[in-house]
Amino acid sequence: MEVALYRPEIPPNTGNIARLCVNAGVPLSIVGEPAFDLSEKAVRRAGLDYWKDLDFYQFPSFEEFQRTKQDQGKRIFLVSKFGKKTYWDVSFSSQDVFLFGRETSGLPEEIHKGHPSDQIISIPMAETSRSINLSNAVAIILYEALRQEKTRTNP
């Protein structure tokens, strides 16, 4: 399993997600340019002492990310409020990648349009809700996928 963030905007969210990925033993990818500096110096200055343990990848574009993951035989799930399926209606596998959008604008419409609708999933929220914090959304999806994998491999 893998987590990917599309052009993240808020450094503490990305830091929390990176820590989550280290602790879950899954890679983290950044797709496109983040809105902040991810250089070694910036990461060290931010006190992210676990960053050295992170299996980290960066892709300049969604197209390159998608091509690479498809070549690896991976299934990409978009996590979006526009998903018609909720995450608990999907059977995940160890080859799945979860792509999360920007904190303020989500994933671009062109990414949604070119993606299979059964691989666009949502997290249910109250009708009056705006959104769930990005790092919380990643935790919800990732740990459900890990729970499913553990259930399949350890009856």
Block residue for tokens 């969604």: 62
Q: What angle do CA 142, 44, 137 make, to 5 degrees?
A: 20
Task: Say how far apart CA 129 and CA 151 lie, in whole Å.
Answer: 32
Residue 120 assigned ligand-binding role? no
Residue 123 assigned ligand-binding role? yes
Q: Do 90 and 117 form a contact (C-beta atoms < 8 A)?
A: no
Residue 131 assigned ligand-binding role? yes
Residue 80 assigned ligand-binding role? no
> Residues within the annotated binding site for S-adenosyl-L-methionine?
79, 101, 123, 131
Pick out the residues of the known binding site.
79, 101, 123, 131
